[in-house]
Structure 1
Amino acid sequence: MDKSFSIFLNTYLDAWRNSSLVDLKELISKAYEAREITGGNIDDFGYDESLNGWEQGFNFAKENNAGWDIRVISILPLREDETMAILSATLVIQGERLKTANLFFQTFRKYNQGDWKLVRSYIEAGISLENANDMF
């Protein structure tokens, strides 16, 4: 795996775990595109809508003194300049993990300057942890 990607992914995950919208938005491409599936409903969105969603999630975490349990399931090099990270994420409130998690398939691209940005996501939201504990 590209060492620069490992460094970038740690920075990205730190921004997420710290609920830092200021830091996270610098790591997302303005051309970002995503698809989220929640309860069978499909929602396609881009950069601005993504930032709005992150802001809501981060505010909820801060208001509830919650932390993020983010797990790296797999890293897959797709092309010379693209890598996918498969992540699971759930909130931990007062020491208790929520009963559901979101599964993220996130594609990152390395640009000419050598910096990485999140360019695409496919998200399965609200997956029950009861049946998926071995995976998450």
Structure 2
Amino acid sequence: MHAHPDHPFTPTALAHFAGSSVRSLQESFRRHIGLTPMQYLRQVRLEQAHHDLTNSDPTHTTVTEIASHWGFTHLGRFATTYRTKYGQSPSHTLRQPARAAPTATWRRIMRQPSHDRRGSLSRAGPGAAAEVKPGRACGR
């Protein structure tokens, strides 16, 4: 999930990849992370969208482009979820003057394969336990 957060995962595909049933995968995620696999994936994607909003040039990028790229098709729900987690609207984050990356970053990223997006996708903490490996069931 961390390596390809923009991949269109489904619960069935994740369970197959993990070598378990959908129910077993969901229970393992709930037990170890406190979320279902899809809730966790949305959280990962929201973090990626936040990173892109923080590091993009508002004159060349829109909230809609970033949200759509990360699989958020309902912009109202995306904005509400984003505001709840980050305390401001996605458009406010995009317009903030301090940028950590060069202005052409978003356009350059969009031309690269998704697996080259960031080198620091795996982090210590709850996310590390959620990495799904082929043929291995979560929680075993």
The bucket for the TM-score relative to the shorter chain is under 0.3
Structure showing greater Rg: 2
Higher strand proportion (structure 1 or 2): 1
> TM-score, normalised on structure 2?
0.22
Query: Whose helix proportion is higher, 1 or 2?
Result: 2
Q: TM-score, normalised by structure 1?
A: 0.23
